[in-house]
Structure 1
Amino acid sequence: MKMKKFINNPENLTQELLEGLVLSNPDIIELTDSKLVVNKELKNSDRVTIVTLGGTGHEPALSGFVGEGMVDISVPGDIFAAPGPQACIEAIKMADKGKGVLFVVLNHAGDMLTGKLTMKLVEKEGINVKKVVTQEDISNAPRERAEDRRGLVGCVPLYKIAGAAASQGKSLEEVAAIAQRFADNSATLAVAARGATHPATGSVISTLGEDEIEIGMGQHGEGGGGRMKMKTADEVAVIMMDKLLKDLDIKSGEKIMVIINGTGATTLMEQLIVYRKCHKYLEEKGIEIVARAVGEILTVQEMAGFQMFIARMDEELVDYWNAPCRTPYLTR
């Protein structure tokens, strides 16, 4: 696939996209000299705060969800690359307002290494930090080996729920427990119809035949072993939903969240058609959708496909999901 993107010098991608994000949302976020994306209301916060890290190239995630009611500081790495621990330590120190810091890390090798080093160093300095890891991709490991599962779009609803709990004055221990409960009851499965290119190098991220899709595709083109011929939206929705329901052992009468997350080149039309089938299929099974989202939340450049996310919900989690927030790409 030949790369065709509206960019300038590839070496400046991260800086320029972060500047664009902040310049287009000047009343919500600001950018530090060390490339931290910061909630402008952080200085007035008297609560638990939230820090996250991750590579750029997945916009609007992760930095597009910095603001009141969600993330307080995002620590961006270069395209598809984790930042170093020093930037995370700086962010945690800046975020700490005396009530503790929740540190959210997606389960990818570079992010996890940075996360572990960061925790060792901040604990030595006596900062009250708790780490929650999102690891909800069901395609590459069974639930009993959840520590091997990749973190996909599930980080974003977790930011929302943890951010609402923090805004309501919960302690760090309470916020971390709520976030962990949500993470433990989450599952994601991705499908790709076409791969992407790395915007800095032009290298191809996964290759699929013209009539092929892959169920279980990772965030950066990692294979999931589910390659098959192209199917209809309804067929793919049922295949994926059945796997997710089985993984979480969701039964009739339960309440769940459903997110259809476009990965960059799948139209909203297609995403809505997939969501329609999910809604009808779950209704037939007596499973109620009590929280939902459809759209591009965490993308992989121009990868065509989507991530289907579900989570077991209760009244408390629904209230946190519906609570007010104000970020560049989610406002309630």
Structure 2
Amino acid sequence: MKMKKFINAPETVTDEELQGLGLAFSDIVEVDGHLVISKDLADADRVTIVTYGGSGHEPAQAGYVGKGMLDVQAVGDIFAAPNGQLVFDAMKLADKGHGVLLLTLNYAGDQLAGKQAMKLAKKAGLNVRQVVTGEEIQYDSNGEDNKRGLAGAVAMYHVAAAAAREGKTLDEVAEIAQRYADNMASVTVKVSDATHPQNGMSFGDLGETDLMEIGAGQHGEGGGVRVPMLSAKETVATVAGALSRKLGLQSGDKAFVMINGCGATTMMEMLVLFKDTVEFLKGMGVEVVGNMVGEILTVQEAGGFQMNIAKWDDETLRLWNTPCRTPAYSKE
């Protein structure tokens, strides 16, 4: 059966979507090839924030370029990291004399591109630091501990950028980002598969079953456990319980909760999941003081969600409550 996606040509889909982003949000971002650049960067006199990654996960990550979040994103092709040269170009463009923080999600291609870019930056004499996020927990004790980077990085973008806007040094901003990365945990629950928008390939066979997969890789990687479908409350008890244990959450702690829809999950479902998560944590004596609910980092039309919980302190909450404005997220 012919793939039902509104595209023109598989080989130009990334170029065309970036052109569309630049046209739709011309007051916030500028698009130069595969670089998405915040209009706020022109007058920046501070540490700047750069990230990179493959397309196909919209609105991440280009949707979080703008005032109070990312300064530049280097965009790769569908589910593929950009090359190290493009990542270096992004850092060089972002550099305003106070240093550049490079944020990387833990995938093999992204790690390789980051390593190449950091070598080029060092050779060029740029003042750069790198923080890698890999908040995915090992849900299956018998499976691989992949520590993949998931949607939790998006909240970290805002916290790190807020620290930079306060005038903190590169080392200080990097330390805050690293502390955030070390105090968050995520897991994916998948109920149906995505298709690759360039070739129509399905990411797995889960859609042909009556099961859901906890700990699934968002690109179809293994590592998950397939179980019969559970209710929202039962799923939350399973997933939030595992994340809370990983973080060592205790009564009196403050937490951030993200429910990220993977592409085909309705807002109705996400809001029910969020409500159940707040109630679950409240039962532990943990207060939810920040949240994101919606499609944040998707995988085309995959069904399911990612739950991210982060342990916050007062400084993190203060930084989170600063204004930001991007194509996909605004806080005034």
Relative to the length of structure 2, the TM-score reads: 0.96
Change (3 A) 1:141 1:116: farther
Residue in 2 that maps onto 1:85:
84
Q: CA RMSD in A?
A: 1.4
**Structure 1 residue 256, shift from structure 2 partner:** 0.6
Residue in 1 that maps onto 2:239:
240
**Structure 1 residue 3, shift from structure 2 partner:** 2.9
- Give the whole-Å Cα distance in 2 for the aligned partners of 1:5 and 1:322: 38
Residue in 1 that maps onto 2:180:
182
- Give the whole-Å Cα distance in 2 for the aligned partners of 1:2 and 1:167: 48
- The secondary structure found in structure 1 opposite 2:278 is helix
CA contact (8 A) 2:22 2:30 kept: yes
**Structure 1 residue 140, shift from structure 2 partner:** 6.6
Residue in 1 that maps onto 2:159:
161
**Structure 1 residue 139, shift from structure 2 partner:** 3.0
- Mapping of 1:120-131 within 5 angstroms? 120-131=119-130
- The secondary structure found in structure 2 opposite 1:205 is coil
- Give the whole-Å Cα distance in 1 for the aligned partners of 2:213 and 2:2: 21
Q: What number of residue pairs does the alignment pair up?
A: 328
**Structure 1 residue 2, shift from structure 2 partner:** 6.2
- Mapping of 1:181-220 within 5 angstroms? 181-208=179-206, 209-220=208-219
**Structure 1 residue 331, shift from structure 2 partner:** 1.0
**Structure 1 residue 278, shift from structure 2 partner:** 0.6
CA contact (8 A) 1:252 1:285 kept: yes
Q: Which amino acid aligns with 1:29?
A: V
- Give the whole-Å Cα distance in 2 for the aligned partners of 1:181 and 1:79: 30
- Give the whole-Å Cα distance in 1 for the aligned partners of 2:221 and 2:227: 16
Q: Tell me, which stretches of 5 or more residues in structure 2 are unaligned?
A: none
- Give the whole-Å Cα distance in 2 for the aligned partners of 1:58 and 1:188: 17
CA displacement 1:185-212 (0-9 Å, x = unmatched): 0100110000100001111112213311
**Structure 1 residue 225, shift from structure 2 partner:** 2.8
**Structure 1 residue 314, shift from structure 2 partner:** 0.6
Q: Which amino acid aligns with 1:42?
A: L
Residue in 1 that maps onto 2:147:
149
**Structure 1 residue 180, shift from structure 2 partner:** 0.3
When structure 1 is superposed on structure 2, of 42-51 and 209-218 the one drifting more is 209-218
Residue in 2 that maps onto 1:251:
250
- The secondary structure found in structure 1 opposite 2:205 is coil
CA contact (8 A) 2:263 2:298 kept: yes
Residue in 1 that maps onto 2:5:
5
Relative to the length of structure 1, the TM-score reads: 0.96
Q: Which amino acid aligns with 1:19?
A: Q
Q: Percent of aligned pairs with the same residue?
A: 52
- Give the whole-Å Cα distance in 2 for the aligned partners of 1:196 and 1:119: 33
CA contact (8 A) 1:141 1:149 kept: no
Residue in 1 that maps onto 2:41:
42
CA displacement 1:44-73 (0-9 Å, x = unmatched): 110000110000000000000001110000
